[in-house]
Structure 1
Amino acid sequence: MDIYLETERLILRRFTESDADDLFALDNDPEVMEFLNGGRPTPREKIVEETLPRFITRGFFATVEKASGTFLGWFHLRTRDGEPDDEPEPGYRLHKSAWGKGYATEGSLALIDKAFRELGARRVYAQTMAVNVRSRRVMEKAGLTHTRTFHLEWDDPLPGTEEGEVEYELTRAEWEAR
């Protein structure tokens, strides 16, 4: 197992091709996907041929609960194409069974610390739909603060899109002052 990071309760490891079934199940839960694609199912072929190969090579980490070995979902720490390398974005997607247990905050805090301690981050930021209150709360618990609300144009907008997107950030100076 190629472990990227461990927390008190979580192991974040590199994805492998054997994770296809777990990723397929995660991406086909309508509640998990509500703010991402409106809860529409993702075809297995797309998971196997597009999503999983991208996750293997682009800073996504399968996340399992240490105590049980259960696949909980994933976290990522990556820079977006065209963005500065010293401004990574942490993110996550977890099964509903993992919601409300502090896993999202625990994993996010560990990735933020890694970004500043080991990867030379100048700033860490995250974005979500303004109406995604649960994700916004995780960002706040992880020490990020709201910096802006903005609007994007979508071909097939989701309910709540009219409220816009939000961005939260934590700078190196703010992280060091904690």
Structure 2
Amino acid sequence: MGVFLETSRLVLRPFGAGDVDLLVALDGDPAVMRFINGGRPTSREAVEARVLPRLLRDYPWGTRGYWAAEEKGGGGFLGWFEFRPVEAENPAVVELGYRLNRSAWGRGYATEGSRALIHKGFTDLGVERVTANTMAVNTGSRRVMEKSGLTLVRHFTGDWPERIEGSEHGEVEYALTRSRWERTRQPPAAPRP
């Protein structure tokens, strides 16, 4: 499998077995993992046994649901994007997600990749609805969702396996339908000057 998607600054490609070290480094940063598990690093063993197999899974439209994000032109690994069906065999409703290295934060990569995936989903993959969730206190991720065209649908309280700081405020779900996207269509994000 080659490149799945390119933007003006990003290349999204399938993960491979050789990406373990990149994932260990990404999930080893407490700031990156803050809203996932309270900041604990993911062990190499867990990356090899659980994380990478999830990232390698193929979905009904003949692609993976997770892609490694790299800077275009031979740049480094930035993290990953998720765009996978909520129900494994039904690509009409997909979940959007992203996890980027701290060095990539605040540079517009999350919005750029999200908009490109939404565009591809609605124009090429038969997607009817995009959904995304995060902790209510994760203002950075919420802002990316809003800039990508998603709107707040609901606040809810999920079952956290363990309490992490901020989980007492619950979670939020954002969504965007194809019909709304067609009415308010946004071009993929341009690079920041």
Q: Distance between the aligned counterparts of 2:148 and 2:161, measured in 1?
A: 32
Question: Which deviates further from its counterpart, 167-176 or 66-75?
Answer: 66-75
The aligned counterpart of 2:25 is: 25
The aligned counterpart of 2:62 is: none
**Residue 85 of structure 1: CA displacement?**
2.6
Q: For this pair of structures, how many residues does the alignment match?
A: 178
Question: Which amino acid is the alignment partner of residue 161 of structure 2?
Answer: D
Given candidates 176, 180, 191, the residue that maps to 1:170 is: 176
Q: Percent identity?
A: 56
Q: Distance between the aligned counterparts of 1:137 and 1:81, measured in 2?
A: 26
The aligned counterpart of 1:139 is: 145
The aligned counterpart of 2:6 is: 6
1:111-150 aligned within 5 A: 111-150=117-156
> Stretches of 4+ moved more than 3 A in 1?
81-84
The aligned counterpart of 1:80 is: 86
Stretches of structure 1 lacking an aligned partner (at least 5 in a row): none
Secondary structure of the corresponding residue to residue 86 of structure 2: coil
The aligned counterpart of 1:46 is: 46
Question: Which deviates further from its counterpart, 80-89 or 49-58?
Answer: 80-89
Secondary structure of the corresponding residue to residue 26 of structure 2: helix
Question: Which deviates further from its counterpart, 77-86 or 99-108?
Answer: 77-86
Q: Distance between the aligned counterparts of 2:166 and 2:89, measured in 1?
A: 26
Given candidates 89, 93, 115, the residue that maps to 2:95 is: 89
TM-score (norm 2): 0.88
Secondary structure of the corresponding residue to residue 56 of structure 2: helix
Question: What RMSD over aligned residues (CA atoms) do the two structures have, in Å?
Answer: 1.4
Question: Which deviates further from its counterpart, 83-92 or 19-28?
Answer: 83-92
TM-score (norm 1): 0.95
Question: Which deviates further from its counterpart, 34-43 or 154-163?
Answer: 154-163
